[in-house]
Structure 1
Amino acid sequence: MADLLFEVENHIATITLNRPEAYNAFSEEMILNWIQALETVRDDDSIRVVIVKGNGKAFCAGGDIKAMHAGEGFFKSKEDISSTGLARKNSLWKKIQLIPLLLEEIDKPVIAQIHGFAMGAGLDMALMCDIRIAAASAKLSESYIKVAIVPGDGGAYYLPKLVGIDKALDMLWTARMLTAEEAKEIGLVTFVVDDDKLEEFTRNYAEKLANGPQTAIRFIKRAVYQSQKMDLRSALDYISSQMAIVTELDDFKEGVDAVIHKRKPVYK
C-alpha cells in the first residue's frame, strides 16, 4: 500500500500517514505524496477541511533514523543527498520544506489528529496545522537532539510561536517527552480527549467547520495569520476589507436570518 493515503468525503479531506510498521516515519514516497495531496487541497474548492492522522500505533515518529543511518529512502534520493551538505540542504528545500510552504497557501482549516507518539519532525507536522486534537495517552517530543541534528522542517519557527521561546528551547534542547495534558497546559495542543473518542471528536469538529460559512472561515484564518506580521493599523485595514466582502455574500444573509428566527443556518 502507499506510504500516504488521501481521501475526500463530505468536503473533508483526510491525509493518513501509512507506514505503521515504522511508526509512520517519513519516507520519500510519503513526502512526495503529501505535497501532492496538499496541492489538491489548495486547488480544489470542494474540499473545506483537512484532517492529518497516522495509521497504527502512532501519529508520526518523524525522520526514519534507520534509513538515515543507512543512507537510504528519503535520505538517499536520486541526487544522492548523502554525498554533500549542499545536496542535503537542497533536498530539504525541494521536499519536506514544501509542506509548510504549501500549508501557508491553504486558507481551509487543517486539523492534526494525534495518537501514540508525535516525535521530532512528526510533531512539527502537527504544529503546522491550525488545530491539534490529541488522545489522552499521546506522547510528544522534539527529539532531534538525540541524534544531534536540528529541526530542518520548520519546528524552530512554529514551536516558539505556540509555547514561547523558553519552553521551545527547553523542548528542543532536552527532547523531554510530554504527555497530552502537559502539552495542552503549555499551548502545544488544542484539545485532549479520551483515546476511544479521538476519531469521533475530530470528525465531529471537522464536520462543524465543513458545514459553516466557508468564505468567512477562510478569511478568519488568513486574518489571524496575516495579523502576526502586521502592525495594528495594517491589520485593521486588512480585516475591514474582508468585512466589506463577507457582508455582501449570501452566507451573511443566511446567518442573520437564522439568528433572528432562532434556527440552524444552512450554508451552501
Structure 2
Amino acid sequence: MPNLPQLSDALLTLEDRVAVLTLNRHDLRNALTGSNLIDDIVTTADWVNLCDEVSVLVITGAGSAFSAGGNIRDMADRSGDFAGDPAECAERYRKGIQRIPLAMQAIEVPVIAAVNGPAIGAGFDLANMADIRIAADTAKFGETFLNLGIIPGDGGAWFMQRLIGYQRAFELTLTGRVVDAAEAKDLGIVMDVVPADELMPKALAMATKMASQPPKATRLTKRLMKMAQRMELKDFLDLCACFQGMSHNEPEHLEAVQKMLASMARK
C-alpha cells in the first residue's frame, strides 16, 4: 500500500486502484479559497501522477456542497487571496487558485467528479476540469462570477466552452444563472444524474470499471484524448503509432490478450 500524502482540508483514500479525494471543509461549503483545499488538490494531483497504484481519481465534497468556489467573506474584506493592488491580486491568483487548473489538466488518470451538491463559481469550474461529471439530484451549477463583479479567474471560461460549446457557455457565464442537475444534464455538463444516496456507488462503479483496465495503457489513452484536442491529425497519428508501439511491448498487453483468448475459448 503506497503512502498517501498528508492533506489538511481534504480526505484521501485508495482502494482497488481507485483514489477518492473528498473536499472536507463543509463549514466553508468547501470553498477553495480561505482554506487549504488548493494545496490539497494540487498535492493529490502530483501524487496521482507519481503513484503507479492509482488508475482513477474520484473527487467529491463532504457535507451539503461540492464546492462554493471563492470565499465571499474574504472578498468583502479584501483579505486572503483577494488582498492587494491589481498587480498583487493577479500574482495571488497565479500562485493560488490558478494552480488547480494546471494540476487538474496534467493528471494522467481518468478523473470523475461526483458532484454531491452545489458547485458554484470556482467549484463549478473544478467539476468541469474532470473528465466525467456525475451529479446527485440535489446538485446545482453556476458560473456566478459576474454576479460578484469579477471574471472567471481560475480558467473556467476555457474549460466550459470546450465542454458544452461557446454559445451555451457564454449564456451561463454572462447571465450568472444557476441551473439544477436536470438542466445540467440537458446542457451536457454532467453525464448522469442520480439520487443523492446513489451518487458515490455510481461514481465508484464507473471508476472500478476503468481501474480494471491495463493501467499503463489507460494513462497513455488519457494522454491521447487530451492531446487530440490540440493536434493536427497527421501529427496525432504519429503519436498514436509511438504510443501503440510502447503498448504492444508491455507485459500488460500480452496478459490482456491471453485473458481475452481464454474468455473466447470458454464460449
- Matched residue, 2:11: 5
Q: Is 83-92 or 98-107 further displaced after alignment?
A: 98-107
- Deviation of 1:203 (Å): 1.2
Count of residues in Structure 1 that have an aligned counterpart in Structure 2: 257
The corresponding residue for 1:52 is 59
Which has the higher mean CA deviation after the structures are superposed, 13-22 or 140-149? 13-22
Structure 1 CA distance for aligned equivalents of residues 131 and 8 of structure 2:
26
Q: Is the 8 A contact 1:4 1:30 kept in 2?
A: yes
CA shift at 1:37, angstroms? 2.0
1:259 matched to 2:265? The reply is no
Shift, 1:7, TM fit: 2.9
Contact preservation (8 Å) 2:81, 2:89: no
**One-letter code aligned to 1:48:** S
Give the whole-Å Cα distance in 1 for the aligned partners of 2:80 and 2:53. 34
Letter in 2 for 1:52: I
* Residue 39 (str. 1) matches residue 46 (str. 2): yes
Q: How does 1:1-268 map to 2 (within 5 A)?
A: 2-26=8-32, 27-75=34-82, 82-262=83-263
Q: Deviations over 1:107-159 (max 9, x none)?
A: 11111110210111001001111111111221111111110110111101000
Q: How far off its partner does 1:179 sit?
A: 1.9
**Residues 56-75 of structure 1: per-residue CA shift (max 9 Å, x gap):** 00101100111211233443
Equivalents in 1 of 2:245, 2:39: separation in Å?
39
| Cα separation, 1, equivalents of 2:217 and 2:44 | 24
Tell me by how many angstroms 1:24 deviates. Answer: 1.0
Counterpart CA distance in 2 for 1:37 and 1:225 is 20
1:181 Cα offset (Å): 2.1
In 1, Cα distance between the equivalents of 2:41 and 2:257? Answer: 39
Shift of 1:204: 1.4
Large movers: runs of 4+ above 3 Å: 72-75
The one-letter amino acid of 1:210's match is A
State how far apart, in whole Å, the 1-side matches of 2:198 and 2:173 are.
30
Residue pair 1:133, 1:190 contacting (<8 A) in 2 also: yes
55-64 or 21-30: which moved more? 21-30
CA distance in 1, matches of 2:143, 2:208: 31
Higher deviation after alignment, 21-30 or 195-204: 21-30
Q: Is the Cα–Cα contact under 8 Å of residues 134 and 193 in structure 2 kept in the other structure? A: yes
Q: Percent identity?
A: 35
- State TM-score, norm by structure 1: 0.90
**SS of the counterpart of 2:68?**
coil
| SS of match in other structure, 1:261 | helix
Q: Is the 8 A contact 1:134 1:198 kept in 2?
A: yes
Partner Cα separation in structure 2 for residue 163 and residue 124 of structure 1: 13
C-alpha distance in structure 2 between counterparts of 1:54 and 1:261, whole Å: 42
**Quick one: distance in 1 between partners of 2:8 and 2:217?**
35
Q: Structure 2 unaligned runs (5+)? A: 1-6
The 8 Å contact of residues 101 and 155 in structure 2, kept in 1 or not, is answered as: yes
Q: TM-score, normalising length from structure 2?
A: 0.91
Structure 1, 144-153 or 206-215: larger mean CA deviation: 206-215
Matched letter for residue 103 of structure 1: M
Say if 1:28 and 1:73, in contact at 8 Å, map to a contact too.
no
